[in-house]
Amino acid sequence: MILNQKNLSQLSKHLSCPTYDRQSLKTGIVHIGVGGFHRAHQAYYFHQLLAKHQVTDWAICGVGLRKEDQRMARTLQKQDGLYTLVVQHPDGKVETEVIGSIKEYLLAVDSPQKVIDKMAHSDTKIVSLTITEGGYNFNPTTGDFNFENPDIQQELAQPNTPKTVYGYLTAALRKRRANGLPPFTILSCDNIQHNGKVARKMVLAFAHKQDQDLANWIEKKVCFPNTMVDRITPVTTPELLNYLKKEHQLEDDWPVGCEPFIQWVIEDDFSNGRPPLEQLGVQFVPDVTPYEKMKIRLLNAGHSVLGIPGAIHGHPTIDACMKDVVFAKFMRRFMDEEATPILGEIEGMDLETYKDSLEERFANPNIKDSVGRICSESSAKLPKFLIPTLRENLEKGGSIKYATFLLAAWCYYSDKETNEKEEPLEIIDAQKETLHHIAKNTKQDWTAFLHQPEIFGSLAEDARFTEQYVKAIQSIYQEKNIRKLMSDLLS
């Protein structure tokens, strides 16, 4: 049976399905960047809110700004916004639920004005974002807005035909202001430390260039709470579609699988009201800093520490890396000896327990989180997840050997087209060509890869770091056995 609104009552006989009246819901949230993560996390929370708490004004309107969002648009439009969430427990238990909180989906390239109008509608109270670490358009070293981006230049010149998230947000806020409506809250849900603060800085930089009055209004009125979001959500595989067909005779073109763990911590700072998410265990706190730092520096960095060498060695998934004792130990050593000393004490948090729980989550054999997903966009991730830890350890005289080895491994990964099992490496990164090109020079100049200041800043000038880096990279290129080198570092 095809998943759509018409078939819901039939489907609900053997599957958990939305029972609330979706038709009458108001869309209080416009979400930009509907991918697997948004559907496993935020949309799931909102589904519960609608299902269990008689809330009717917090349904979601999904928005895609990129041409690549076409497939999501067609799928959700075809399925009336419905999709299946499959929660995969480590012990094999599976919970399957049809989620109904995404009421509409708009693709900006189809109709930019519709997106602006939706965001400017009086029902819209929040615009939330998962536009990925790279989507914020700032220079990772200086932290400044990148005005060189041609799309940005174009929308600055023509404010009525926006292209990026900044053009859309300002166009909609301008319209609200003209109509005498309060602004929406801008809620960033990306893995960037101080994500709200970063979003605010970028929106204001753009707005100041475009329209001073509007920028002043945004500065005074728009809230940008910082948030920490967490749920491991692998890329959807054909096996998941087949599982739903076989187990539930359900045809869903794009279901989502995820782990049971879920967490959302938000600063309670909203411009125009907020949903009662505390009823679902969402934590509202005055300052999210300790939570986000802990998550980004341990979970996200830990993922990269497994994923990049894992890809080189030929481990297909994160749980396969965790089964390999050398990899599991290497990651824990990085967490214990390099990330934890930087984090220090975090009030109300037991870091040992947190790290133990990360090991369990990474080892979930039913998640099958591909190393390809983890390694994707490393050029945007590592400057936020791992390099700050390395830099702080250099300042404090702390250990840098695991993080340094990882950066050397990333260079090798960017250079090679196959892994150590001679299988092709599929690299997904907006900077893929540049990375590959620079990494190719490694054998002529062992530090060549480090001369990318937008990623590494001035790390190449630090003698202690470069000495260890050169040692690591020479051994990686010469030995061609990443696992053995990791094992050597452990002893």
Q: What residue ranges bind ligand CS2 (CB under 6 A)?
A: 191, 230-232, 300, 303, 374, 381
Q: In the bound complex, what is the minimum distance in angstroms from residue 257's beta carbon to ligand CS2?
A: 12
Q: In the bound complex, what is the minimum distance in angstroms from residue 300's beta carbon to ligand CS2?
A: 4
Q: In the bound complex, what is the minimum distance in angstroms from residue 306's beta carbon to ligand CS2?
A: 10
Q: In the bound complex, what is the minimum distance in angstroms from residue 134's beta carbon to ligand CS2?
A: 11
Which amino acid makes up residue 3? L
* Token output for 355: 């790290």
| Residue with smallest beta-carbon separation from ligand CS2 | 303
Residue labelled with tokens 């480590």: 90
Nearer to ligand CS2, 230 or 267 (CB): 230
Give, for 85, the enclosing helix (H) or strand (E): strand 83-88
Q: In the bound complex, what is the minimum distance in angstroms from residue 86's beta carbon to ligand CS2?
A: 16
CA 184/CA 182 separation, integer angstroms: 7
* Token output for 365: 């054999």
* Alpha-helical runs (H) found in 190-262: 195-210, 212-221, 238-248
Q: In the bound complex, what is the minimum distance in angstroms from residue 234's beta carbon to ligand CS2?
A: 8
282: Cβ–Cβ under 8 A, 6 or more apart, which residues? Answer: 45, 264, 265, 266
Which amino acid makes up residue 470? V
Nearer to ligand CS2, 106 or 390 (CB): 390
Nearer to ligand CS2, 37 or 449 (CB): 37
Nearer to ligand CS2, 176 or 231 (CB): 231
CB 317 within 8 A of CB 369: yes
Report CA dihedral (35, 41, 44, 49) to the nearest 10 degrees.
-130
Instruction: Please give the biggest Cα pair distance in the chain.
Output: 67
Q: In the bound complex, what is the minimum distance in angstroms from residue 217's beta carbon to ligand CS2?
A: 33
Q: In the bound complex, what is the minimum distance in angstroms from residue 431's beta carbon to ligand CS2?
A: 16
CA 83/CA 250 separation, integer angstroms: 11
Nearer to ligand CS2, 174 or 303 (CB): 303
Find the angle CA(290)-CA(295)-CA(296) to the nearest 5 degrees: 105
Q: In the bound complex, what is the minimum distance in angstroms from residue 277's beta carbon to ligand CS2?
A: 17
Nearer to ligand CS2, 231 or 274 (CB): 231
Cβ contacts of 351-354, under 8 Å, gap ≥ 24: 351/294, 351/298, 354/294, 354/298
Nearer to ligand CS2, 30 or 374 (CB): 374
Nearer to ligand CS2, 327 or 465 (CB): 327
If one counts every other C-beta atom within 10 angstroms of the C-beta of residue 478, the result is 9
Nearer to ligand CS2, 177 or 303 (CB): 303
DSSP 266-324: EES--SS----GGGGTPEEES--HHHHHHIIIIIIHHHHHHHHHHHHHT--BHHHHHHS
Length of the chain equals: 491
* Token output for 205: 């930089």
Nearer to ligand CS2, 303 or 483 (CB): 303
Q: Quick one: how far is CA 29 from the chain centroid?
A: 19
Residue burial 336-354, b: 16+ Cβ < 10 Å; e: rest:
ebbbbebbeeeeeeebeeb
Q: In the bound complex, what is the minimum distance in angstroms from residue 381's beta carbon to ligand CS2?
A: 6
Report CA dihedral (184, 187, 193, 194) to the nearest 10 degrees.
30
Q: In the bound complex, what is the minimum distance in angstroms from residue 190's beta carbon to ligand CS2?
A: 9
Nearer to ligand CS2, 275 or 372 (CB): 372
